[in-house]
Amino acid sequence: MMPLRPDTWVGYAFAIVAGFAFGFVLERAGFGSSRKLAAQFYLRDMTVLKVMFTAIVTAMLGLTLLTSLGLVDFAAIFVNPTYLGPQIVGGLIFGVGFAVGGYCPGTSIVAAVTGKMDAVSFLLGFGGGVLVFAGAYPLVGGFAQSGGGERELLSDWLHLPMGVVALLVVVMALGMFAGAEWVERWMRRRDARASEPPAESTHDDQAHAPAAAE
């Protein structure tokens, strides 16, 4: 029955292997580049959304399938506790930092080890943010712990079976992928039109260029 939960040091060895694969895939996806990551927020490169939702759908379907086959004890799998208020406010703040800094923590590590100095700066700033939060804890700690912290699933909230919710997530992801492909094409056409000078002046430039050179 899974999860296997090996001994501490076997687990730590596995952590390095899993982390290695995680970091390797992030780099190969192009996430060692702040420009590529930030392009997500200008609709020019939707790779962040595509990679993230494909990964979520893959792991989610694997977990639901193996649970329904009785191979995984889902109750023994860690589910992030829900603190709705702090998670929504923290998420909004985090998103602002993502758009300003061009990274999230995992991708900044990959960017830093592939030589990006701006990622090193982001990492130092992130440490600073952790400290600001720690310093402000007497003020914000109450809010940070509000909201119950229960193990609550989307399926509990929607009052639907997990399998149905998993199916809805797949449908939503496919819709988002279609939208992402469409918006990338649309932005490419728009950028191409913007960089193209009006047809008449192009013609004139070509006609006059040799004369001007002489």
Binding positions for another protein, 102-141, rule CB under 8 A: 102-119, 121-134, 136-138, 140-141
- Is the Cβ–Cβ distance between 176 and 53 less than 8 Å? yes
Nearest to 49 by CA among 214, 196, 182: 182
- Looking up tokens 């923590």 gives 105
Partnered with residue 82 across adjacent β-strands are: 150
Give the nearest distance from C-beta 68 to another protein in angstroms: 14
- Is the Cβ–Cβ distance between 5 and 72 less than 8 Å? no
Give the nearest distance from C-beta 188 to another protein in angstroms: 14
175 vs 208, beta carbon nearer another protein: 175
Give the nearest distance from C-beta 204 to another protein in angstroms: 28
134 vs 209, beta carbon nearer another protein: 134
Give the nearest distance from C-beta 179 to another protein in angstroms: 13
Q: Would you count residue 76 as binding another protein (CB under 8 A)?
A: yes
Chain positions 157 to 186 lying near another protein, rule: CB under 8 A, are 157, 162, 165-166, 169, 177
Residue from 11, 175, 179, 197 binding another protein (CB under 8 A) = 11
Backbone angles phi, psi at 30, to 5 degrees: 100, 10
Q: Would you count residue 197 as binding another protein (CB under 8 A)?
A: no
Structural element, H or E, at residue 100:
helix 84-101
Chain positions 79 to 98 lying near another protein, rule: CB under 8 A, are 79-84, 86-98
54 vs 202, beta carbon nearer another protein: 54
Report the C-alpha gap between 6 and 185 in whole angstroms.
47
Chain positions 31 to 60 lying near another protein, rule: CB under 8 A, are 32-35, 38-42, 46-47, 50-60
- Cβ count near 22 (within 10 Å): 13
Whether the link from the prior residue into 197 is cis, omega within 30° of 0, is: no
Q: Burial level of 33, CB count in 10 A (0-12/13-18/19+)?
A: buried
138 vs 210, beta carbon nearer another protein: 138
Residue from 68, 69, 70, 147 binding another protein (CB under 8 A) = 147
